[in-house]
């Protein structure tokens, strides 16, 4: 059976690529620290030596709209075109083509149905920065096949937070039941507190530093029970109008397991959001793995 080599969760700031490649007067003052943190984070995936990446993200109303909004969708195709025109224009993101792992996608779809997850699928999915940003930060070579998994964190009615945790647990079981000798990393990206287009978007910190502090502790310690006790669809409106993306972090906590402490934890407080990076090694830290980082 396949081996789950790593579970990784992170934010997906679309300006990282531009900030990290800028030079001279165009390079922001926080870029060097950000790049150093990302390079340490990248090593946690490299050390896991994966063959395939299951990428959990959320379409930002690029391909999925209110006329057809699945709650959970799996991409099943030999190749995926990536990034959209507005992402190229606004964020400077490059166009990409990523290979798909159709056999694992088919297994997840079939096994998901058998585990009471009626997952939607698409054979013509174009992916956006929720998936390409972690590719850029963690595997800039973009040389590994992927299985994209999209979640609905934008358009009500949304699944309850507990359903995201359940899907994370199921995804791990699906990966570990795949008849293959390949090593698989599950990578998911979401948000801590986040405000988009509202009065708290461009504050000195993220819109709710106290929520961010609690969220990092929940994730780092694997406190799923404590997180579910406080986080609801209604409560996620309060830290910022786009904070429902935190449910993708909860999905990754489900994949890592209750009470599982992250092997790598790092954060960066930017001017309007806190970036956060977590890695778990289900089968122990690889010999070349990074030491635990807590900032």
Average pLDDT for 35-48 = 97
| Cβ atoms within 10 Å, residue 63 | 16
Q: What angle do CA 24, 22, 29 make, to 5 degrees?
A: 70
The fold of 3-280 is: Protocatechuate 4,5-dioxygenase; Chain B (3.40.830)
8 A C-beta contact, residue 267 and residue 293: no
The conformational region for residue 258 under phi > 0 = left, psi -120 to 50 = alpha, else beta, is beta
| Cβ atoms within 10 Å, residue 269 | 16
Q: Which single residue is written with the structure tokens 């937070």?
A: 161
Domain ranges of the chain: 3-280
Q: What angle do CA 122, 123, 129 make, to 5 degrees?
A: 65
pLDDT digits (tens, 9 = 90+) for 92-150: 788 989 999 999 999 999 999 999 999 999 999 989 889 999 999 999 999 999 999 99
pLDDT digits (tens, 9 = 90+) for 216-257: 999 999 999 999 999 999 999 999 988 999 999 999 999 999
Q: Which single residue is written with the structure tokens 């070349």?
A: 288
pLDDT digits (tens, 9 = 90+) for 43-81: 999 999 999 999 999 988 888 899 889 999 999 999 999
Tokens for 144, please give them. 């590994």
Average pLDDT for 176-182 = 98
pTM strictly above 0.85: yes
CA–CA gap between residue 68 and residue 221 (Å, rounded): 37
pLDDT at 63: 87
pLDDT at 293: 41
CA–CA gap between residue 113 and residue 256 (Å, rounded): 22
pLDDT digits (tens, 9 = 90+) for 260-289: 999 999 999 987 889 999 999 999 988 765
pLDDT at 288: 62
Q: Which single residue is written with the structure tokens 């490299």?
A: 46
- What rounded mean pLDDT belongs to the chain? 92
| Residue 206 DSSP code | -
């Amino acid at each position: 059976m396949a081996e789950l080599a790593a579970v990784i969760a992170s934010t997906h700031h679309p300006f990282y690529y531009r900030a990290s490649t800028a030079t001279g007067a165009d390079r922001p003052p926080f870029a060097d620290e950000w790049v150093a943190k990302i390079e340490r984070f990248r090593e946690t995936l490299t050390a896991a030596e994966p063959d395939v990446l299951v990428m959990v993200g959320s379409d930002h109303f690029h391909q999925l709209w209110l006329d057809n909004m699945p709650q959970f969708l799996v991409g099943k195709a030999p190749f995926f075109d990536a990034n959209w025109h507005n992402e190229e224009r606004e964020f400077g993101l490059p166009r990409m083509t990523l290979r798909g792992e159709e056999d694992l996608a088919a297994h997840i779809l079939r096994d998901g149905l058998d585990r009471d997850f009626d997952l939607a699928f698409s054979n013509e999915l174009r992916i956006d920065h929720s998936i390409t940003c972690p590719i850029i930060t963690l595997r800039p070579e973009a040389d590994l096949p992927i299985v994209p998994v999209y979640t609905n964190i934008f358009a009500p009615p949304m699944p309850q937070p507990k359903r995201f945790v359940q899907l994370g647990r199921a995804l791990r079981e699906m990966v570990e039941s795949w008849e293959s000798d390949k090593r698989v990393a599950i990578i998911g990206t979401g948000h801590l507190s986040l405000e988009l287009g509202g009065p708290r978007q461009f504050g000195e910190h993220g819109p709710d530093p106290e929520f961010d502090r609690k969220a990092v502790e929940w994730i780092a310690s694997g406190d799923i029970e404590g997180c579910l006790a406080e986080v609801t669809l209604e409560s996620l409106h309060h830290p910022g109008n786009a904070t429902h993306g935190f449910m993708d972090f909860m999905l990754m906590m489900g994949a890592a397991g209750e009470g599982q402490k992250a092997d790598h934890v790092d954060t960066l407080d930017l001017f309007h959001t806190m970036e956060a990076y977590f890695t778990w090694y289900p089968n122990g830290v690889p010999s070349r793995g990074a030491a635990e980082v807590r900032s």
